[in-house]
Structure 1
Amino acid sequence: MQIQDLPYPDPGVPDAHSGPRFLWWLGRNQLGGQLKSLAWGLLHFTSVTGLPFCVGFAIQAVVDRSGARLALSGGLLALCGMLIALGDTFLHRAAVTNWITAAARVQQLLARKTAQLGSALTRRVAAGEIVAVSTGDVEKIGWFVEAVSRFTAAALSVVFVCVALVVYQPALGIVVAVGVPILALAVLPLLPRATRRADFQREKAGRATELASDTVAGLRVLRGIGGEELFLDRYRAASQEVRHAAVRSARMWALISGIQVLLPGLLLITVVWYGVGLARDDRITIGELVTVYSAVMLLSYPLRHFEEIAMAYSFSRPSAKRAARVLSLERATDTAGSLDASVPSGDMHDPATGLLVPAGRLTAVVCGDPDAAGRLAERLGGHAAEEASSDTSVRLGGVPLDELPLDSARTAVLVQDKDPVLLSGTLRELLDVPGSGDITPEEALAAAQCGDVLEALIQGSLDAADPMDARITERGRSLSGGQRQRLALARSLITDPEVLVLDEPTSAVDSHTEARIADGIRSLREGRTTVVFTSSPLLLDLADRVVLVHEGEVAAVGAHRELVHGEPRYRAVVTRETDEEAAASLGEVLDGGVVEGGLRDGVRDGGAAKHDPPKKDSHQSHGSKHGKPTLSDVLNELEEIEETA
Structure 2
Amino acid sequence: MKTILEEAVTGQRRSVIAASLLGAAYQAGEAAVPLIIGVVVDEAVRTGAGGRLALWIGVLAAVFLVLSLSFRLCLRFSEAASHRAAHDLRTRLATRVLAADGGVGGRLSGELAAIATGDAQRVGQVNLALPTAFAAVVGLLVGAVALLRVSLVLGLLVLVAAPVLLLATHLLGKPLERRSDAEQDRAALASGVAADLVAGLRALKGIGAEATAAHRYRRTSRSSTAAAIRAARSRAWLDGSVLALTGTFLAVVALVGGRLAAAGSITVGQLVAAVGLAQFLLWPLSVFSWVTGLLAQGRASAARIGEVLAAPPAVPPGSAPPPDPVRGRVELVDVVSGTLRGVSLTAEAGELLGVVARDPADAVSLLAVLARDVDPVAGSVTLDGVPLAGLEGAARRSAVLVAAHDADLFEGTVRENVAAGGPLVAEAMAAARIDDVARALPDGLDTAVSARGRSLSGGQRQRVALARALAAAPPVLVVHDPTTAVDAVTEVSLAAGIRRVRAGSTTIVVATSPALPAAADRVVFLADGVVVASGAHADLVADEDYRLAVLS
Could you say which residue in structure 2 is the equivalent of 1:32?
Answer: 14
CA distance in 2, matches of 1:75, 1:456: 75
Distance 1:244 1:482, change over 3 A: closer
Could you say which residue in structure 2 is the equivalent of 1:70?
Answer: 53
Q: Does 1:446 align with 2:430?
A: yes
- Aligned residues of 2:328 and 2:348 also touching (Cα < 8 A): yes
Alignment of 1:266-281 (within 5 A): 266-281=248-263
**Shift of the alpha carbon at 1:339?**
4.5
CA distance in 1, matches of 2:446, 2:230: 55
Which residue among 91, 94, 97 is the counterpart of 1:114?
97
CA distance in 1, matches of 2:323, 2:147: 67
- Aligned residues of 1:332 and 1:402 also touching (Cα < 8 A): no
Which residue among 516, 528, 531 is the counterpart of 1:539?
516
Task: Mark the structure with the bigger radius of gyration.
Answer: 1
SS in 2 for 1:116: coil
CA distance in 2, matches of 1:144, 1:341: 48
Could you say which residue in structure 1 is the equivalent of 2:493?
Answer: 516
Q: Which amino acid in the other structure matches residue 116 of structure 2?
A: S
Could you say which residue in structure 2 is the equivalent of 1:619?
Answer: none
Q: Which amino acid in the other structure matches residue 418 of structure 1?
A: H
- Aligned residues of 1:41 and 1:153 also touching (Cα < 8 A): yes
**Shift of the alpha carbon at 1:93?**
1.8
SS in 2 for 1:137: helix
> 1:159-207: CA deviations, max 9, x gaps?
3332343355323211111122222222333222232232233333233
Could you say which residue in structure 2 is the equivalent of 1:355?
Answer: 345
Could you say which residue in structure 2 is the equivalent of 1:370?
Answer: 360
SS in 1 for 2:3: helix
Q: Does 1:498 align with 2:472?
A: no
Q: TM-score scaled by structure 2? A: 0.91
CA distance in 2, matches of 1:174, 1:355: 84
CA distance in 1, matches of 2:248, 2:535: 90
CA distance in 1, matches of 2:242, 2:112: 37
- Aligned residues of 1:381 and 1:414 also touching (Cα < 8 A): yes
Alignment of 1:46-195 (within 5 A): 46-67=28-49, 68-117=51-100, 120=102, 124-195=106-177
Which residue among 278, 303, 316 is the counterpart of 1:296?
278
Alignment of 1:7-46 (within 5 A): 21-46=3-28
Could you say which residue in structure 2 is the equivalent of 1:596?
Answer: none
SS in 2 for 1:365: strand
Distance 1:269 1:488, change over 3 A: closer
- Aligned residues of 1:350 and 1:380 also touching (Cα < 8 A): no
Q: TM-score scaled by structure 1? A: 0.78
- Aligned residues of 2:260 and 2:266 also touching (Cα < 8 A): yes
Structure 1: which 5+ runs fail to align?
A: 1-14, 462-466, 577-645
**Shift of the alpha carbon at 1:392?**
4.9
Could you say which residue in structure 2 is the equivalent of 1:584?
Answer: none
Q: Which amino acid in the other structure matches residue 234 of structure 1?
A: R
- Aligned residues of 2:100 and 2:393 also touching (Cα < 8 A): no
Report which stretch shifted further, 403-412 or 198-207.
198-207
Could you say which residue in structure 1 is the equivalent of 2:384?
Answer: 397
Structure 2: which 5+ runs fail to align?
A: 336-342
> 1:94-117: CA deviations, max 9, x gaps?
222122212211221122123214
**Shift of the alpha carbon at 1:497?**
0.2
Report which stretch shifted further, 503-512 or 65-74.
65-74
Distance 1:406 1:293, change over 3 A: same
CA distance in 2, matches of 1:542, 1:453: 23
Which residue among 501, 504, 507 is the counterpart of 2:484?
507
> 1:424-459: CA deviations, max 9, x gaps?
322332222353x4x3x22211111222112223xx
> 1:351-404: CA deviations, max 9, x gaps?
42323222210111111222431332132122225xx57x75632122233332
Distance 1:485 1:56, change over 3 A: same
- Aligned residues of 1:362 and 1:530 also touching (Cα < 8 A): yes
Could you say which residue in structure 2 is the equivalent of 1:306?
Answer: 288
Q: Which amino acid in the other structure matches residue 454 of structure 1?
A: A
Q: Does 1:483 align with 2:453?
A: no
- Aligned residues of 1:427 and 1:468 also touching (Cα < 8 A): yes
> 1:298-347: CA deviations, max 9, x gaps?
11212233212221122233322222222223544433445479674442
Q: Which amino acid in the other structure matches residue 231 of structure 2?
A: S
Count of equivalent residues: 543
- Aligned residues of 2:183 and 2:227 also touching (Cα < 8 A): yes
Distance 1:149 1:549, change over 3 A: farther
**1 or 2 for the larger relative contact order (CA 8 Å, sep ≥6)?**
2
CA distance in 1, matches of 2:31, 2:128: 22
CA distance in 2, matches of 1:210, 1:520: 38
Distance 1:425 1:189, change over 3 A: closer
Q: Does 1:528 align with 2:505?
A: yes
Q: Does 1:411 align with 2:401?
A: no
Q: CA RMSD in A?
A: 2.6
Q: Which amino acid in the other structure matches residue 516 of structure 2?
A: L
CA distance in 2, matches of 1:403, 1:44: 58
Q: Which amino acid in the other structure matches residue 43 of structure 2?
A: A
Distance 1:56 1:492, change over 3 A: same
CA distance in 2, matches of 1:554, 1:489: 27
SS in 1 for 2:402: strand
**Shift of the alpha carbon at 1:485?**
1.2
**Shift of the alpha carbon at 1:121?**
5.2
SS in 1 for 2:419: coil
Distance 1:302 1:553, change over 3 A: farther
Distance 1:247 1:537, change over 3 A: closer
Identity rate, percent: 35
